[in-house]
Amino acid sequence: MSEHILEFKPAEGFRARSKAVVDNPFLRQSFRGAMDFLMSKRAAQFPDAEELESLRTLGERIRQYNLAKLPTLLEQLEAKLTQNGIQVHWAETPDEANAIILGICHARHAKLMVKGKSMVSEEIELNHAAEAAGIGALESDMGEYIVQLANEKPSHIIMPAIHKTKEEIARLFADKVEGVDYTDNVDALIQIGRNVLRQKFLEADIGLSGVNFAVAETGTLCLVENEGNGRMCTTAPPVHIAVTGIEKIVEKLEHIPPLLSLLTRSATGQNISTYFNMISSPRLAGEKDGPGEVHLVLLDNGRSQAYADEQLRKTLQCIRCGACMNHCPVYTRIGGHAYGTTYPGPIGKIISPHMLGLEATSSMATASSLCGACGEVCPVKIPIPELLMRLREEAFTAPHANPAMVGQGAGYSWLMTSVWKGWAAVYRSPSLYGVATWLGSRFSWLMPSKQGAWTSVRVPLKPAPRRLRDMLRERG
């Protein structure tokens, strides 16, 4: 049922992809059920509205404080990590990031890389690059393992396989995992994955992970996870490579507790995740485990474009909890794959244009009813609706007219822009508006009974026989 989705062209086919999900009651129901569950778990974590509000305000301030100092903090982080024995690499593009990672692999004659959950590795499509270079890349997060087996992409940034039922996973395991019979017992399925992965952690030459927070002052890489696979990836193989976006930085350790609390409570409704890893160096003399080598790859990929604009910079406050997806009435209906971007849902709509260009993501900002639920739940108060509006403005503006989105075409067609110009001409002028609405009500019987997309599912609209303004005038 889940289609093979590897090559995305976000702007093209968004409607067709979303329609496919909307028309599939089974898939729709499974998304809806999962999102309702996550929403209620989050709500249970924040029973006190005042506490939530003050924690969100604190989270916002911490993120804004650190973003304001980002260039300095990045230098400080590099210096501190280097001092701690962790090697730092800078990548402007996904290709550069892949080249760096695969370069490290080649230097160690690596054959197998085990991966902890990392959305940045999805963003750069590392698995493809590794495969092309003859290096096995194996996902070890259970959800990521499932979507990798199915040759798909994650449909949610926290719950990659949320679109799959346990029966589908059971069939997938029976088909793809050697020596496994069909079972839809969830515990048995997890045990199957665990048995496969346990062996691979021991065999792997490279462990790859993401980073939730990088602390500049101490040179510490923090990793939030629930399955223990992140700890395995970062301790068992001889080399650990962490990859993350340049925005994930905080100055001080004391910035972490509020952000961590907001992250786990907003994401999965957990008070705290099962594992919280803090990595400050490779294995030191006398230590019994840990990798001999640790690398950090810092990726830009459009983030500095968002950073350069004061308003768009707020996009980078994100701590990747996924609450905006769980609460989005559009995401809940269409799921993550329909978006065609690595990051789906509301956060995907505001971050993807910087990564892929505005032209390629023009349906992102408009496929929103601007209901505001995302902004309401965001733990670091990213004003997502306001940023969607800003991106709509950028798309409306002629190409290259605005330095904020340099080198990117307008997302709107000439026809659409003209329609708005005509509309505005009528609504700016009380006299033209008067004529138009008078015609509308006087000739309401001429109103077609088929009104395009509106009447495909609703009864037609009919203007009232008399306008309010006429009736008020007569009333005197």
Partner 1 sequence: MSEKPKRVALFVTCLVDMFRPEIGFAAVKLLEDAGCIVEAPAGQTCCGQPAYNSGDRADATAIARHNIALLAGFDYVVLPSGSCAGMIAKHYPLLFEDDPEMAGKARALAQRTFELTSFLVDVLGVEAVAGASHLGKVTYHDSCSGLRELGVKTQPRKLLGSVAGLTVSELAAPEECCGFGGTFCVKYPEISDRMVSDKAADATATGAAMVLGGDLGCLMNIAGKLKRQGSPIAVRHVAEVLAGGALVAPIGESGEE
Query: Residue 334 interacts with partner 1 (CB under 8 A)?
Result: yes
Confirm if 142 and 190 have CB atoms less than 8 A apart.
Answer: yes
Query: Residue 446 interacts with partner 1 (CB under 8 A)?
Result: no
Give the Cα-Cα-Cα angle 291, 293, 294 (nearest 5 degrees): 95
Query: Residue 166 interacts with partner 1 (CB under 8 A)?
Result: no
Query: Residue 31 interacts with partner 1 (CB under 8 A)?
Result: no
From candidates 7, 187, 456, 474, binder to partner 1 by CB under 8 A: 456
**What is the β-pairing status of strands 213-215 and 220-225?**
antiparallel
Query: Residue 314 interacts with partner 1 (CB under 8 A)?
Result: no
Hey, what are 294's tokens? 């640790």
User: One-letter amino acid identity for 134?
Assistant: G
Query: Residue 360 interacts with partner 1 (CB under 8 A)?
Result: no
From candidates 47, 179, 403, 452, binder to partner 1 by CB under 8 A: 452
As measured in angstroms, the least distance from the Cβ of 40 to partner 1 is: 12
Q: Single out the segment in contact with partner 1 by CB under 8 A; choices: 225-233, 235-243, 291-299, 460-468.
A: 460-468
Query: Residue 158 interacts with partner 1 (CB under 8 A)?
Result: no
Of 199 and 449, the one with the shorter C-beta distance to partner 1 is 449
Of 285 and 406, the one with the shorter C-beta distance to partner 1 is 406
> CA–CA separation, 242 vs 286, rounded Å?
23
From candidates 93, 99, 370, 409, binder to partner 1 by CB under 8 A: 370
Query: Residue 396 interacts with partner 1 (CB under 8 A)?
Result: yes
As measured in angstroms, the least distance from the Cβ of 308 to partner 1 is: 18
From candidates 9, 19, 128, 400, binder to partner 1 by CB under 8 A: 19
Burial bucket for residue 471 (CB in 10 Å: 0-12, 13-18, 19+): exposed
> CA–CA separation, 341 vs 436, rounded Å?
42
Query: Residue 349 interacts with partner 1 (CB under 8 A)?
Result: no
Query: Residue 41 interacts with partner 1 (CB under 8 A)?
Result: no
From candidates 87, 389, 402, 409, binder to partner 1 by CB under 8 A: 389
Q: Single out the segment in contact with partner 1 by CB under 8 A; choices: 104-112, 194-202, 278-286, 415-423.
A: 415-423
Query: Residue 13 interacts with partner 1 (CB under 8 A)?
Result: no
Q: Which of residues 64-123 bind partner 1 (CB under 8 A)?
A: none
> CA–CA separation, 157 vs 320, rounded Å?
7
What is the rounded end-to-end Cα distance, in angstroms, of the chain?
64
Q: Which of residues 418-437 bind partner 1 (CB under 8 A)?
A: 420-421, 423-424, 426-430, 433, 437
Hey, what are 251's tokens? 């100055």
As measured in angstroms, the least distance from the Cβ of 185 to partner 1 is: 32
Q: Any residues with CB less than 8 A from the CB of 90 and at least 6 apart, and which?
A: 297, 298, 300
Query: Residue 471 interacts with partner 1 (CB under 8 A)?
Result: yes
User: One-letter amino acid identity for 301?
Assistant: N
The residue count for binding partner 1 (CB under 8 A) is 63
Q: How many CB atoms lie within 10 A of CB 71?
A: 11
> CA–CA separation, 101 vs 15, rounded Å?
36
Query: Residue 398 interacts with partner 1 (CB under 8 A)?
Result: no
Give the Cα-Cα-Cα angle 315, 317, 322 (nearest 5 degrees): 85
Q: Single out the segment in contact with partner 1 by CB under 8 A; choices: 42-50, 79-87, 154-162, 453-461.
A: 453-461
From candidates 15, 108, 111, 400, binder to partner 1 by CB under 8 A: 15
The residue ranges that bind partner 1 (CB under 8 A) are: 15, 18-19, 22-23, 28, 329-330, 333-334, 365-373, 375-376, 389, 391-397, 412, 416-417, 420-421, 423-424, 426-430, 433, 437, 440-441, 452-454, 456-464, 466-469, 471-472
